[in-house]
Amino acid sequence: MLSAEQNRTLTQVGAGTPMGELLRRYWTPFAGASELDETPIKAVRLFGEDLVAYRDLDGNYGLVDRHCPHRRADLSYGFVEQCGVRCSYHGWLMRHDGAVLEIPFDDLVHPQTNLKDGVRTKAYPVRAAGGLLFTYMGPAPVPEFPMWEALTWTGGFAEVVRSELPCNWLQCQENSIDPVHFEWMHDNWSQRLAGKHDYAGKHIKLGFEELDYGMVYRRMIEGMSEDSELWLNGRMVLFPIGFYLGEQFEWRVPIDDENTLNLCWFYSVPPKDVGPYKQHRVPTWVSPIKDETGRWITSHVINQDFVAWIGQGTIADRTREYLAASDRGVTMLRRQYFEEIKRKEAGDDPKWVIRDPGAARCIKLPIVGRTMGSGELTLDEWRDHPYLKIRFTDHRHCAGQPAWVRAEYNAAMGF
Ligand code: FES
Ligand SMILES: [Fe+2]
């Protein structure tokens, strides 16, 4: 349980709030790079700030104030130039570092006054990696970009999946350190949804441990041995908003206090008798959250999670919860946030902000699930595998994979 004040502290993401400022100290993924392929400008709301992301004709990515510095027109209706984005109202041209490059009428009639030297627009740096776009919205100096090893893999099929949820980010991220929900929400509930009445193996022991870049949870399920990967390595919460599961990342990206972008990255290595795949572009697709009757979709693992998170309320009221033994990780995670807010307010870098370029270049994380679909199995073995066989017909985690993505996936995997 938290006080109302503590709950506000952890959930508010706007500029100037304790948590909003803490989260801004880390590189944050906010889109799939391929979202800018068809239309190179996209409105983005992040941490309560209205921005536009774009890719100009030189290939520079920008993330700038959605409103033009001239008279505030909407730059998501602007157009890109060789370098920068131009407002469609009076043609001001802005570059990815916030400089104003052209003010067409002034440049013509008062070339000597250089009004543009005195104007800047808000701009945040953008990095592309693994088919995702990341930004840093905190104060200078910009920390090193943490290149997670998985984002450098080649030979497989990567895809980015996004869903926007009408609830606060923290209740989504608390789920990343909550192993017991898997037994109920994904195993037992899925059984009932399929009209079956079995119960999955029970969790009998949990382990939580802080590691570099976050925390792992480990689970022991009845019948499982102590040398099982899930007990030895577990799953990893990436501080502050990520979750890492081997061939899968999930990030709970705050849009504002009441909305969250769940941004997933999935990677599949083709069966060994199919061989490596050369991917030219990582597709991005939107996974829907409601069915045609207006109910939340419950058919896929991550959609089931959404039902829980959204159901907790727009901003979960943590003054009215009863924490239990399964919530030890949740308590540890909240404590980490409070500690890192304090560390930042004392003027230090919060934990795992990287300043050493060597340390950031390729970061290996504990990998559980690398053997699930990882080039070790033949096509026939996939077909018989309890978790992998579903991939012949459907996406395992998210509802609504479009046919064109499925076709690319099938081609990559030799299905
Ligand atoms: S409002 Fe953008 S150029 Fe005038
Ligand atoms: Fe889940």
- Judgement on whether residues 350 and 239 belong to the same structural domain of the protein: yes
- Judgement on whether residues 197 and 87 belong to the same structural domain of the protein: no
Q: Indicate which CATH number applies to the domain containing 52.
A: 2.102.10.10
- 4 and 11 in contact (C-beta within 8 Å)? no
**What pLDDT was estimated at residue 339?**
98
Q: Is 70 in the pocket of ligand 1 (CB under 6 A)?
A: yes
- Judgement on whether residues 157 and 128 belong to the same structural domain of the protein: no
Q: Indicate which CATH number applies to the domain containing 200.
A: 3.90.380
In this prediction, residue 232 has a pLDDT band, given cuts at 50, 70 and 90, of confident
If you take atom 3 of ligand 1, which residue's CA is the nearest one? 90
DSSP string computed for 127-188: EEETTEEEE--SSSSPPPP--BGGGG--BSEEEEEEEEESS-HHHHHHGGG-THHIIIIIII
Percent of the chain with pLDDT over 90: 90
The answer to whether residue 143 is domain-embedded is no
**What pLDDT was estimated at residue 371?**
53
Residue 202's SS3 state is coil
If you take atom 4 of ligand 1, which residue's CA is the nearest one? 90
Peptide bond into 141 cis (omega under 30): yes
Ramachandran area for residue 172 (φ above 0: left; ψ -120 to 50: alpha; else beta): alpha
Q: Is 68 in the pocket of ligand 1 (CB under 6 A)?
A: yes
Q: Is the pLDDT of residue 373 over 90?
A: no
Query: Domain end: 79, 100, 135, which one?
Result: 135
Q: Is 92 in the pocket of ligand 1 (CB under 6 A)?
A: yes
- Judgement on whether residues 169 and 129 belong to the same structural domain of the protein: no
Name residues whose C-beta falls within 8 Å of residue 112's C-beta, 6 or more positions apart in sequence.
none
Cα(67)–Cα(69) distance, rounded to whole angstroms?
A: 6
Q: Which atom of ligand 1 is found nearest the CA of 78?
A: 2
Q: Is 104 in the pocket of ligand 1 (CB under 6 A)?
A: no
- Judgement on whether residues 287 and 337 belong to the same structural domain of the protein: yes
User: Ligand 2: distance of its center to the CA of 312 in Å?
Assistant: 14
- Judgement on whether residues 214 and 129 belong to the same structural domain of the protein: no
Tell me the CA distances in angstroms from 13 to 53, 107, 258, 404, one per residue in order: 20, 39, 10, 36
User: Ligand 1: distance of its center to the CA of 63 in Å?
Assistant: 17
- Judgement on whether residues 377 and 276 belong to the same structural domain of the protein: yes
The answer to whether residue 11 is domain-embedded is no
User: Ligand 2: distance of its center to the CA of 62 in Å?
Assistant: 33
Cα(55)–Cα(33) distance, rounded to whole angstroms?
A: 9
Residue with tokens 């627009």: 121
Lowest mean pLDDT: which of 194-198, 253-257, 258-262? 194-198
Q: Is 73 in the pocket of ligand 1 (CB under 6 A)?
A: yes
- Judgement on whether residues 54 and 131 belong to the same structural domain of the protein: yes
The answer to whether residue 93 is domain-embedded is yes
Q: Which atom of ligand 1 is found nearest the CA of 87?
A: 2
**What pLDDT was estimated at residue 100?**
98
**What pLDDT was estimated at residue 282?**
98
**What pLDDT was estimated at residue 114?**
87
Q: Is the pLDDT of residue 377 over 90?
A: no
Long-range contacts from 342-351, C-beta under 8 angstroms, 24+ separation: 344/21, 344/22, 344/25, 345/18, 349/25, 349/143, 350/22, 350/25, 351/239
The answer to whether residue 18 is domain-embedded is no
CB atoms within 10 A of CB 234: 22
**What pLDDT was estimated at residue 374?**
65
Give, in degrees to the nearest 5, the angle at Cα 406 between 274 and 161. 110
The answer to whether residue 3 is domain-embedded is no
Structure tokens at 360: 């950031």
Q: Is 90 in the pocket of ligand 1 (CB under 6 A)?
A: yes
Ramachandran area for residue 359 (φ above 0: left; ψ -120 to 50: alpha; else beta): alpha
Q: Is the pLDDT of residue 21 over 70?
A: yes
Peptide bond into 240 cis (omega under 30): yes
- Judgement on whether residues 94 and 186 belong to the same structural domain of the protein: no
- Judgement on whether residues 167 and 55 belong to the same structural domain of the protein: no
Q: Report the domain count for the chain.
A: 2
Q: Which atom of ligand 1 is found nearest the CA of 69?
A: 2
- Judgement on whether residues 175 and 124 belong to the same structural domain of the protein: no
Query: Domain end: 110, 135, 160, which one?
Result: 135
User: Ligand 1: distance of its center to the CA of 99 in Å?
Assistant: 15
Percent of the chain with pLDDT over 70: 98
Q: Is the pLDDT of residue 372 over 80?
A: no
Name residues whose C-beta falls within 8 Å of residue 177's C-beta, 6 or more positions apart in sequence.
208, 215, 217, 237, 329, 330, 332, 333
**What pLDDT was estimated at residue 346?**
98
- Judgement on whether residues 296 and 370 belong to the same structural domain of the protein: yes
Query: Domain end: 105, 135, 165, which one?
Result: 135
The answer to whether residue 25 is domain-embedded is no
pLDDT tens digit sequence for 56-92:
999 999 999 999 999 999 999 999 999 999 999 999 9
**What pLDDT was estimated at residue 370?**
59
pLDDT tens digit sequence for 187-206:
999 999 999 999 999 999 99
pLDDT tens digit sequence for 85-124:
999 999 999 999 999 999 999 999 999 988 999 999 999 9
User: Ligand 2: distance of its center to the CA of 68 in Å?
Assistant: 41
Cα(55)–Cα(39) distance, rounded to whole angstroms?
A: 9
Name 237's bridge partners. 215, 243
Residue 211: phi, psi to the nearest 5? -130, 175
Residues with CB under 5 A from ligand 2 (ion): 305
Kind plus residue range of the DSSP H or E element containing 220: strand 214-221
Q: Which atom of ligand 1 is found nearest the CA of 68?
A: 2
Q: Which atom of ligand 1 is found nearest the CA of 91?
A: 3
**What pLDDT was estimated at residue 231?**
87
Q: Is the pLDDT of residue 170 over 60?
A: yes
- Amino acid present at 44: V
CB atoms within 10 A of CB 220: 19
The answer to whether residue 19 is domain-embedded is no
Cα(1)–Cα(318) distance, rounded to whole angstroms?
A: 5
**Average pLDDT of the chain to the nearest whole number:** 95
Q: Containing domain of residue 63, as a range?
A: 33-135
Cα(151)–Cα(171) distance, rounded to whole angstroms?
A: 26
Cα(187)–Cα(296) distance, rounded to whole angstroms?
A: 18
Residue 213's SS3 state is coil
Lowest mean pLDDT: which of 20-34, 240-254, 365-379? 365-379
The answer to whether residue 23 is domain-embedded is no
